[in-house]
Structure formats: C-alpha cells, structure tokens
Amino acid sequence: MDYRNADGSLAEMCGNGIRVMARYLVERGHQPEGIFAINTRDGVKHLRVPAKDDISVNMGKVIDEGEAVTASVEGKIWNGYHISVGNPHAVVFVEKIEDVGSLKDAPVVRPRDIYPEGVNVEFVEVTANKEIKMRVHERGSGETRSCGTGTCAVALAATLHTNTSLPARWVIHPPGGRLVVDIDPHANATLTGPAVLIKDVDITDYLQDA
C-alpha cells in the first residue's frame, strides 16, 4: 500500500486507509476474509477482516520520543508529546475540544527542528475514564475527520498524560466516528473500527482531467 496525502505527498502509513483498503480487497473478492497482511512504507501490517463488522489492524510499536512539544493556534498554546507511529505526531491536551478554534491553517509546533518533514497534530480532551474527544490537523491534508495513526499516538500520549500504565484500551471519538485503540505492555497498538466503501471511482477520469 502506498498512501498519498491531499497535496500528493507520500505518507509512511495510514491506519484508516489500510482498513479501507482491506475492506475493498475482501468485498471485491481479491482476498478472503480473515487474517492477512499488507505491506506499507512502515513495514508489514497484519489485519483481521471479517466479512462484516469492524476491522482490526496491528499498527506496531508506538514510541514516545521523549521531547516535550507545544502547539499553538490563534495565539493559544498547549503542551504535549512527540509520538511516533511510523510517522510523526504532536499530541497536545486541551480542557475543551471547542477551545481549539479553527484548524484551517497548520498549527505552529515547537521545537520545529524535530519535525523536518512536517507533523500531524492531535488535540485531545479526556472526557471520561479511558474516553477521548480528538481533532487532528494532518500534514499535507489539513484538518481531517479522523486519523488512524493519530488515534494510536493519542492513546499512548493519554496513558502518559493520565499517569496510567500499559496495557491500556482507549475509546477515541474524532469527528469521523468512534475508534478503539488497544496498547499492549510493550506499546504495540491495535486499531479497531469500521470501514465502509461508499463510491466507485474510475481514476482514468481524473487523469484525463489533469
């Protein structure tokens, strides 16, 4: 699987994209339901894909890189964590998700030198025991309704932020819908959620327009 952002740039991995790809492979008869692997720029990922219901993907190790970061939007600044899920994330915590305001422009993240190729920025409100609201600004795409690698980064950051321990399960609510992240004692994350095909597209139509 190769994944491209809205601006055409390549991303190392996309947790929601790989689940949609797996759903496509099963629904179109290219792959039987069950457990199978897809190779990505972040290595081989194993998925559990039933004919119906939620798809789970083992996202691999989520890493706390150790640096403290800040993200600012419209003059407001929040503290957070530098997390890697094969791609870079800055996860910051807010009192209320509504406080973030507009994410039309990319948040300013510091220190800038630790993200030479840009960064996905997650804004997190812990709403209840192991439940989270989240918004995300993705590099190369802007604000999106969900981010699979982002939810995994958020799950580890929330574990650190709440001074709890692994293993942990977090239920995360980005605007696009509910996802569940399980992190084992070694910080390996499994992402579970729905994937639904909504439209058939012939890419040659777009190539002709270009």
Instruction: List, by residue number, the catalytic residues.
Output: 14, 147
Torsion of CA 2, 193, 144, 24, to 10 degrees: 40
Q: Letter for the amino acid at 194?
A: P
Helix (H) or strand (E) holding 16: helix 15-27
Helix (H) or strand (E) holding 57: strand 55-61
Q: Give helix 148-161 / helix 15-27 axis angle, nearest 10°.
A: 140
Look at phi and psi of residue 8 and say left if phi exceeds 0, alpha if psi is from -120 to 50, else beta.
left
Strand partners of residue 4: 10
